[in-house]
Amino acid sequence: MKNLDESLLTGLPPFRLLQRAEIREILDQATSKRIEVGAEVFHEGHDAERFYLLLDGFIRVIKNTPTGEQIIALHIAPGQLFGIAPALSRTTYPATAVAAAESIALSWPVRLWDNFTSRYNGFATESYKTLGQRLEEMQSRITELATQAVEQRIAVALLRLVNQSGRKTDQGLEIAFPITRLNISEMTGTTLHTVSRLLSAWERDGVVKSTRKHIVVTAPHQLMLLSKPKG
């Protein structure tokens, strides 16, 4: 990675407390990879051989249930580490990572994790802070599934995606990567039919605009109201 300027990474969480010389040392041990849309980066249960930093694109994190169903647990945004099984004291990946959009990631062998976290204090503190935030989001998701009505869950899921990746367009705030109704059903623990019915109703009401793989939130405030309990 000699051609990647360390100054481009100084603001990213794993590196922002490090000196440029330290970032250079870490970069010199990295491998770059371009990931096509829909391609797997790694699979749940497989040996964790590398950990990753997403430079561009979005990564969808998928968990399999004991009954064989898929649940979309998280979306990873640029600038974040993923596949950090060693941080969880695991030797296998706890979930499957799939490119939600064309992505570029750096990666390192897992044998370097302990070296990085012991040698570069900023790398360790920022990495574990990111992990904590991710676990907190997962806890929120579990609470939503247990306590919220389906309409609320879908509205909350869309708001989360817009807050994470939304870009302004003439029509509203567009989720910045391809997202299908099946993806939303897998995020919210509901059926494809229910998601389709609600999105169609919201589209008639001018809250969202959806095409085959793209969703634009045209009335964010109205969607926020839909995410709140009724009554």
One digit per residue, the tens of pLDDT, for the chain of length 231 reads 567 788 888 888 889 889 999 999 999 999 999 999 999 999 999 999 999 999 999 999 999 888 878 889 889 999 999 999 999 899 999 999 999 999 999 999 999 999 999 999 888 888 888 888 888 888 887 788 778 899 999 999 999 999 988 899 999 999 999 999 999 999 998 999 999 999 999 999 999 999 888 999 999 999 999 999 876
Only one residue has tokens 């979309």, namely 72
Encode pLDDT of 100-139 as tens digits. Answer: 999 999 999 999 999 999 999 888 888 888 888 888 888 8
Residues 89 and 27 in one domain: yes
- Note the pLDDT of residue 107: 96
- Contact indicator for 77, 103 with CB cutoff of 8 Å: no
Contacts of 205 (CB under 8 A, 6+ apart): 222
Please give the pLDDT value at position 2.
63
Contacting residues for 51 by C-beta, under 8 A, at least 6 apart: 81, 82, 83, 84, 85, 86, 107, 108, 110, 113
Q: Please, what is the average pLDDT of the chain?
A: 91
> According to the model, what pLDDT value does residue 8 have?
80
The one-letter amino acid code at 184 reads I
Pick the last residue of a domain from 134, 166, 185: 134
Q: Check whether residue 116 and residue 218 sit in a common domain.
A: no
Rounded to whole angstroms, the Cα distance separating 42 from 13 reads 22
Phi-psi category of 45—alpha, beta or left, where left has phi over 0 and alpha has psi -120 to 50? left
Percent of the chain with pLDDT over 70: 99
- Per-residue pLDDT at 231: 60
Same domain, yes or no: 24 and 87: yes
Q: Is residue 143 part of a domain?
A: no
Establish if 105 belongs to a structural domain: yes
In a domain, 142, yes or no: no
Domain that holds residue 42: 6-134
Predicted local distance difference test score (pLDDT) of residue 1 = 59
Tell me, yes or no, whether 66 lies in a domain. Answer: yes
